[in-house]
Amino acid sequence: MRLRFPIYSLLLVSLPLFGQDTTTQLLYPQRTFQTERIQGEAPLMDGSPTEAAWEAVEWSGDYVQFQPNAGAAPTQLTYLKVLYDDRNLYVAFRCLDSQPDKIEQRMGRRDEFPGDWVELNIDSYHDKRTAFSFTVSASGVKGDEFVSNDGNNWDSSWNPIWEAKTQLDSAGWTAEMRIPLSQLRFSSGDDQVWGIQSTRMDFRMDERSLWQPRDRNASGWVSRFGELRGLRDLQPRRTIELQPYVVAQRATYPLEENNPFADGADNRLSAGLDARIGVTNDLTLDLTINPDFGQVEADPGALNLDGYQIFFREQRPFFVEGQNIFDFNLSQAEAGGGHTSDQLFYSRRIGGSPHRVVSSEADRRYYVDQPVNTTILGAAKFSGKTSSGLSVGLLESITEREMATIDLAGERNETVVEPFTNYQVGRVQQDFRGGDTYVGAIMTGVQRSLGDDPELGFLHREAYSGGLDFTHRWKDRAWYVSGNTVLSSVRGSKEAILETQTGFEHFFQRPDATHLEVDSSATRLNGSSGMLKVGNLGGNFIFETGATWRSPGFEINDIGFMRNADEINYFGWMARRWQEPFSIFRRFQVNGNVYTTLDFGGNLLQQTFNVNTHANFTNFMNGGAGASYVAYRASKTDLRGGPILRRSPGVEYFGYVNSDQRKKVTVGVNAYEYRTFDGTHREGSVGVWANWQPFDAVSVNISPDYSTFRRADQYVDQQDVAGGTTYLVASVDQRTFSTTLRFTYNLTPDLTLQYYGQPFISRGTYQDFKQFTGAGMAETFGERFTAFSDAAVTYDTEEGLYRIRSAEGELEVGDPDFNFIQFRSNMVIRWEYRPGSEIFLVWAQGNTASGDPTQGLLRSLGSNVFSDETRNTFLVKATYRWYR
């Protein structure tokens, strides 16, 4: 099917469908706190603000509820004080509580915000878009986040050096913070004004109150702050931080007979350095030499049959911290969708697994020692924001040329598996109109030193992209229009560009794609991407609508993340929300979504309509449910380079419910199902989670998940027979089970024991082989595929393959059944023995195995997950963070 009217007409038609909200927003006057410079001795950080220095300023109270009853008086009163000297900012809180014995002093990891807590946000740039957030719980656990995009992004990976202490007394609890000015960013000035906000969480009432009141229906967060005045003769301090580290590691694994590279144990001792240098007070240079990521939590298990890449979040500290500056999402949308995961910069590309894999050949047995990851020799980041509203981010990283060692009957030689590679990212953004408007630009680059290595001819020699983006807000930041456009170019050998053109993300070879053509002589491939959206997030009726595209030649996966090119996606989202309590609800929201996808040839690929609702109840439970009508769906990737394949229409449902989060034991359950009307595709999942807090210092979380995937036309193989291509599919029955277990024990707020473990198994069996008829757009399943009779399909147990007699001749297909088992875990003891300096003791355990597909799921998991093939890694890491 082809959609013959342009996509922008959908954008225009949809706008009148969304009613304009006429709700009047409450306007609160901007508050001011007048601070003073400490004249004598600085306060002692013991959690009790009783020192004489605190008498220089008055307590500031009058906090107002933000939720659940916005504008109402809080159940408990809160007071705030702020002082400063040449080196630090000092903050004190008095949190009154009529029942001090019921104050929740739960503990947890840094940035978990357990139990009762109080927070201060500081907009020291006073740009009304970014802020530094400091939180401390009643138990003394610290949290810190960098806030950007006017509160839409909270980056908890930011870990500044600061101190916080708390104490309980008969009136409630108190807290003190000492925040070095070197950890903030601000400009010089004789009399400065900063933005500030403070939040208190009353855990047992699930109530948040604000120092600077804010209407629940107003958009923006940082732009609604109050002001901190009285900062006189404050000189910016240039940060200098050095953090050397040393790591000792021992890995043990099963001894493999005759394999010289698997003697049962490996030992490693390494050292490196992280550094941060303030070039100016606004701009900093971060450096890392020989970075180590040994204590990073393992990625969750995943196995995907649809061919798309799996997105894993970044967990490495150097790349995580400050990543908001380099963020360039190609099509972020309130409606969601697969395209919203596309990123121009995906840092997991740096230091990933080598692109070339060397394995022993069937007729030539040898042993291979291949690196698991690419070594990062060094990386540098230059980032910050000036007083004029200019954000700057520059990143460069260099990775090693990696070699695999091959041993053949005692003779060894090396072969290259990854070239020496240079990565760069440059990002700038400029604010206008007090941050209501901003424009930005980004450039990325990858250069590989391929030399004359014929083994690496499939890689791009160079990959570049550049883009522009903008956001404009008006009417008190409720309305906005946002967009971006990006150009990409990859260069390499004919082999490399041909592989890109015919790869999963592009499939130029599709026989029915008249708008595409494979050019086997090309040495470069160019493309473009873009997005435009408009919305209103102020009031009770809110909406967003827009469109995004990826041209057929668009390619960014050398340094970015892209699921698919050759797509135009339209998205529309509307919501009605009730922010104030009524009936059994504390909050309630209903959403409606519409999705349409086409390719650049005008072929309709998707038409889906969705409605979902989410609620918080007065009994402190929350839940939601939703349904989608998939009116039309077709895939240009299902046949892996074959014609577009129409899928049968269907419906999907989801629902979830979570118990009262304040309890010592909390549970939740979620479920999902999708099925076509003709029964040819059905999938579903059920997940349960439970959290137990037996003591304030101990928490245990377990979350098992079970999913099924059944499809009658799952791709198996394609073969050239009788002058044409035969596409084979089969009915697949995939079942997946995983359980994630987390255990945390806080000996003190700065000394924690953490355990993470996840057994994962996914088993798939195939039957009922079928042949594609060539009528990919036919309405019924029977017109699209012809099933082979049982007599036409035989299985050769010795060779492990199927022999299929078809009209075009005999076909041979390898057994597609699989049983993938994986277990990953780590136990970490983390001690922050002084602010910013840490010692890690790590035990990591992992195992990957292939089981018998005919065996039961849990039985196969139990017999393989703790097998003799388990690899254990023991690691000690010590860091020392020096700063001034």
What residues make up the domain containing 111? 31-237
Q: What is the pLDDT of residue 302?
A: 66
- Cβ distance 847 to 869 under 8 Å? yes
Please give the full DSSP string across 111-152, using - where no structure is assigned. Answer: T---SSEEEEEEETT--SS-EEEEEEETT--EEEEEEEGGGT
CA-closest candidate to residue 428, choices 379, 490, 382, 380: 382
Please give the full DSSP string across 790-845, using - where no structure is assigned. Answer: GGGEEEETTTTEEEEEETTEEEEEE---EEEEEEEEEEEEEEEEETTEEEEEEEEE
Q: What is the pLDDT of residue 16?
A: 39
Residue 3 has pLDDT above 50, yes or no: no
Please write the tens of the pLDDT for every residue from 518-556.
999 999 999 999 999 999 998 899 999 999 999 999 999
**220 assigned to some structural domain:** yes
Give the span between the Cα atoms of 869 and 872, in whole angstroms. 10
Q: What is the pLDDT of residue 297?
A: 57
**Around 61, how many Cα atoms within 13 Å sit in the side-chain half-sphere?**
11
Please write the tens of the pLDDT for every residue from 489-512.
999 999 999 999 999 999 999 999
- Give 384's strand partners: 283, 392
**225 assigned to some structural domain:** yes
**In angstroms, what CA-CA distances link 219 with 71, 76, 83, 473, 754?**
16, 26, 30, 10, 37
Q: Which two tokens stand for residue 574?
A: 């509307």
**502 assigned to some structural domain:** no
The most confident of the ranges 126-135, 199-208, 817-826 is: 199-208
**What proportions of the chain, in percent to the nearest 5, are helix, strand and coil?**
10, 55, 40
Residue 377 has pLDDT above 70, yes or no: yes
Please write the tens of the pLDDT for every residue from 126-161.
888 889 999 999 999 999 998 988 888 888 878 888
- Give 748's strand partners: 751
- Cβ distance 165 to 140 under 8 Å? yes
**392 assigned to some structural domain:** no
Please write the tens of the pLDDT for every residue from 676-696.
999 999 999 999 999 999 999
**224 assigned to some structural domain:** yes
**211 assigned to some structural domain:** yes
Sequence-ordered list of residues with C-beta below 8 angstroms from that of 257, at least 6 positions apart, any chain: none
Residue 300 has pLDDT above 70, yes or no: no
| Other CB atoms within 10 Å distance of the CB of residue 91 | 27
What is the sign, positive or negative, of the torsion defined by CA atoms of 400, 404, 410, 411? Answer: negative
At residue 809, what is the residue type?
G
Long-range contact set of residues 428-434: C-beta below 8 Å, sequence gap at least 24 = 428/390, 428/391, 428/392, 428/393, 429/390, 429/391, 430/388, 430/389, 430/390, 430/391, 431/127, 431/129, 431/389, 431/390, 431/391, 432/389, 434/127, 434/128, 434/223
Number of domains in the chain: 1
Apex 492 CA angle, 486 and 497, nearest 5? 75
User: In CATH, what number is assigned to the domain containing residue 128?
Assistant: 2.60.40.1190
**436 assigned to some structural domain:** no
Give the span between the Cα atoms of 481 and 544, in whole angstroms. 9
pLDDT band at 316 (very low <50, low <70, confident <90, very high): confident
Please write the tens of the pLDDT for every residue from 281-299.
778 888 888 876 655 556 6
Give the span between the Cα atoms of 53 and 590, in whole angstroms. 51
- Average pLDDT of the segment spanning 768-782: 94
Please give the full DSSP string across 505-549, using - where no structure is assigned. Answer: TT-TT-TT-TT----TT-SEEEEEEEEEEEEE-SSSEEEEEEEEE
DSSP-assigned letter for residue 454? G
Give the span between the Cα atoms of 732 and 84, in whole angstroms. 66
**157 assigned to some structural domain:** yes
Q: What is the pLDDT of residue 633?
A: 95
Q: Quote the percentage of the chain above a pLDDT of 90.
A: 68
237 versus 422: the higher-pLDDT residue is 422
Q: State which H helix or E strand residue 14 sits in.
A: helix 7-14
